[in-house]
Structure 1
Amino acid sequence: MISVFKPLLPKAEEIFPFISRIDANRYYSNNGPLLVEFEARILQALRCSSGNVVTSSNCTMALVQALRARNLDDLPLNSLCIVPSWTFVASPAAILLAGMIPYFADVAAETWSLDPSQLGVLVERLRTEGKTVAAVMPVAPFGAPIDVAAWEAFETTTGVPVVIDAAASFDSLTMAGGLPPVPVSHIPIVVSLHATKVFGIGEGGFVITSDAALADRIRRFGNFGFFGSREACLPGWNSKLGEMYAAVGLAQFDQWADTRQEWVDLTIQFRELAAPLAPHAHVPDVMVGDWVSTYGLLQLNDHESNLPRIMNYMTEHGVETRCWWGGGCHQHPAYNKFGREDLVQTERLGKTVLGLPFWRKLPRHEMARSFSVLADALAADT
């Protein structure tokens, strides 16, 4: 079976020098020296001097911290946070943990994300229905860039705080492909450092914002409400990133140029192998750019594909596949009770987007075999 994904982090001998520093300084958590250095390296990678980076134990908790930091006052009962259903379930989970209720909106066909120019109408309608919209959480799909300036304008117009879930967008934010850096916004942008991401450390996440006071609140929420004293100013929790994970992150930075080039080469190879499948399947436009992610996605022709049958066929022929976001969060039993708009595009994407094997060190002949099996599956389905 060709696996759909295999994480690959720095090797033990590459991490060991940083662990030796932990042994020497006997600092294991609580914003230790390795973590301070790691956050500085993140800021350097983002190529900005006006930003503030706050790390967290995982991306879900980073989202929770950012949501709570943007809503310090007591939230009215049943306050809503609008979020796309086309996302991983961590997004609505974070909303619930932050004391709000997810409300699922549809995404635009072109961007696979919420459209800020259209969302203001939804906010006003919900308000006229007597509901409180406490936040909006746009999601950058599968690592794609997101229009931060458009969300700043939305926030100014509606007064609704925004937190951007950019879990897979480390590369599109750092713009390592040579594009200009993204201006750091006061809007908190949350990025995952999970092992499944292009810049993975095993587990972790971080928030970037230009608002220093907001960054302080985010850090307080992840440190029992403490920051610079033993007085809990906020009812926080413990979601700090430990020194061991910072050690992995520093080792990852030392080899990031080579690691990123592997993702670039893999992406080029994937696109080359996908080209002959047209018009039955193609690399989605939203996944095309100078950035990289860990998702090898194809979009199948609506009228020719039966996704479950194609996936079963490929499994039977030794190729693992994945519908990374399923049919949308609203179809999960844990979240199908929450309010939602008509989700036409979400459900269409859930029926046509297929994840193929895509990981560093994946042999070219195995990737080629994955596409060959898919071609046979598509032929059998027509």
Structure 2
Amino acid sequence: MKYPIVKPFLPSIDAYKAQIDGIFERCWLTNNGQCLQEFERQLADYLGVNNLLLVANGTLALQIAFAALNIKGKALTTPFTFAATASALKFACIEPEFIDIDPDTYNIDIEQATSKQLSEASALVGVHVFGNPCEVEAIDRKAKEYDLKVIYDAAHAFASDINGKTVLEHGDVATLSLHATKLFHSVEGGAIIFKHKADYLKAKQLINFGFNSDFYPELVGINAKMSEMHAAMGLCLLEHLPYITQKRRTLVAHYQECLSLPFEQGLLSFQKWHAEGNNNGAYMPVVLKNEQQLLQVQAKLLEQGIQTRRYFYPSLSTVPAYGMQGSTPHGNELSLRILCLPMFTDLTLDGVEQICSSLISAIQTSC
């Protein structure tokens, strides 16, 4: 039996074909078509948010967010995230300054930021790593004290909450990735949730070349629109969301149960989740003793058809292209020791048990 690291959940081909048939009949393939409008409305309703804007992908979502909020100069962010977080900043000519993480939650530790770093920045870009909510209240306090805009890269945080309310309501902006590897997807896609209507309206212009209602390029914009074909996939998957989220939470709980003994023995560790949140089942990371052990375990699992991935390696503060600004020992160390196990909706509980059995054996033989 082979276990890929991810496997996209798909609707029935007949359901998707019905959406595509409608697109063919209307012959409206992009530029705010019927599927896009309906998907945007239904997704905002499902998430319980206002000012939601769909875009072509999650990286463009970040870039549009920075432009809508007029972020310039320097932004504080985490080294422990996917490359897109830092590359989107650099692409927008914003310098990332890396702040270290909490080694237990894996999220940015805003208390590690110095007064100098905070006073020189224009924004703070937090990441809800693996869907685990950041300490949003602490970040809000620092943002108010130093007049910072707050952008959350919430690429992993679909169906993530704090006290039963979506984490996406925090910050001036939160961005989602709807890539095929995510918990919920539209094949390729992204979404931006704005706190303020004026920022949303500006972004709506920015994703369509900066045109105003008279089709005059009032702003310097870009083409970041989602197509009808991608919106159609999102629409088809929305009805499956209760099943997807429940199943993935069950899988995470079963993983943790099966790995409870090596956890108690100190052979591996888990991410500490936000006290007022529920694990959304986006990923299944484990932290091993050191990088050498990780590489040995990864190789042994692959021999058995079990694919794993080093999310996130390397630590972005060590990458010359991103400027290497900031001291981040916790983030650097975690990036060497963390491995994500297979996580996808079609994974069975028996599959989890087989993966865990193989993982435990690989750890024991690598010690």
| TM-score normalised per structure 2 | 0.91
**2:222 match:** 237
Picking from 313, 316, 324, the partner of 1:326 is 313
Q: Residue 40 in 1 paired to residue 41 in 2?
A: yes
1:103–1:181 Cα change, 3 Å:
closer
Q: Residue 268 in 1 paired to residue 253 in 2?
A: yes
Q: How does 1:120-135 map to 2 (within 5 A)?
A: 121-124=115-118, 127=120, 133-135=121-123
Question: Displacement, 1:85?
Answer: 0.8
Deviates more, 1:310-319 or 1:28-37: 310-319
**1:61 match:** 60
1:181–1:106 Cα change, 3 Å:
closer
Report SS of the residue matched to 2:130.
Answer: helix
Question: Displacement, 1:55?
Answer: 1.0
Give the gaps of 5 or more residues in structure 2. none
**1:130 match:** none
Count how many residue pairs are aligned between Structure 1 and Structure 2. Answer: 363
Report the AA paired with residue 2 of structure 1: Y
Once residues 280 and 128 of structure 2 are traced to their aligned partners in structure 1, the CA distance between those partners, rounded to angstroms, is: 13
Q: Residue 22 in 1 paired to residue 47 in 2?
A: no
Deviations 1:142-188 (A, max 9, x none): 11123444333322211222211011101105x7xx92445835610
**2:139 match:** 151
Picking from 310, 326, 350, the partner of 1:365 is 350
Once residues 361 and 175 of structure 2 are traced to their aligned partners in structure 1, the CA distance between those partners, rounded to angstroms, is: 40
Query: Do the aligned residues in 1 keep the contact of 2:15 with 2:236 (CA within 8 Å)?
Result: yes
Report the AA paired with residue 57 of structure 1: A
Query: Do the aligned residues in 2 keep the contact of 1:112 with 1:286 (CA within 8 Å)?
Result: no
Report SS of the residue matched to 1:195.
Answer: coil
Report SS of the residue matched to 2:273.
Answer: helix
1:183–1:251 Cα change, 3 Å:
closer
1:317–1:161 Cα change, 3 Å:
same
**1:193 match:** 178
Q: CA RMSD in A?
A: 2.4
Give the gaps of 5 or more residues in structure 1. 128-132
Question: Displacement, 1:333?
Answer: 5.6
Identical aligned pairs, as a percentage?
26
Question: Displacement, 1:334?
Answer: 3.7
Q: Residue 111 in 1 paired to residue 119 in 2?
A: no
**1:283 match:** 270
**1:97 match:** 91
1:204–1:135 Cα change, 3 Å:
same
Report SS of the residue matched to 2:357.
Answer: helix
Query: Do the aligned residues in 2 keep the contact of 1:305 with 1:378 (CA within 8 Å)?
Result: no
Once residues 87 and 171 of structure 2 are traced to their aligned partners in structure 1, the CA distance between those partners, rounded to angstroms, is: 23
Once residues 9 and 231 of structure 2 are traced to their aligned partners in structure 1, the CA distance between those partners, rounded to angstroms, is: 16
Question: Displacement, 1:13?
Answer: 1.2
Report the AA paired with residue 106 of structure 1: D
1:14–1:333 Cα change, 3 Å:
farther
Report SS of the residue matched to 1:29.
Answer: coil
1:181–1:94 Cα change, 3 Å:
closer
Query: Do the aligned residues in 1 keep the contact of 2:155 with 2:175 (CA within 8 Å)?
Result: yes
